[in-house]
Amino acid sequence: MARQKKQPVENAFALFDVIYQDGARTSNRKVPTADIDQFDRENSIRTFIETQDRKIAEMSGNPRGPIKSITPSA
């Protein structure tokens, strides 16, 4: 009996590297592809990551600085 081929899994997340103005870097930040606006891609990604950062800062008490740049992870 032959095995069935596995269907490719649709990537539900896009990964980004974020560099902050203080020089800190976070790698492979997950952003759901459903939350990325086709027409305003960079702004929607930045907004999602800033929202994540605010939630993390509330829990840890250690706020992040402003984002300098966002690049797709390799």
More reliable by pLDDT, 60 or 1: 60
pTM for the full model? Answer: 0.79
Q: Which two tokens stand for residue 32?
A: 């759901």
What's the pLDDT tens digit per position in 2-53? Answer: 777 776 666 699 999 999 999 999 999 999 999 999 999 999 999 999 999 9
Rounded Cα–Cα distance for residues 30 and 8 (Å): 19
Contact (CB, 8 A) for 64 and 20: yes
CA angle 19, 23, 29 (to 5 degrees): 25
Specify the DSSP class assigned to residue 10: P
Residue-level pLDDT at 10: 65
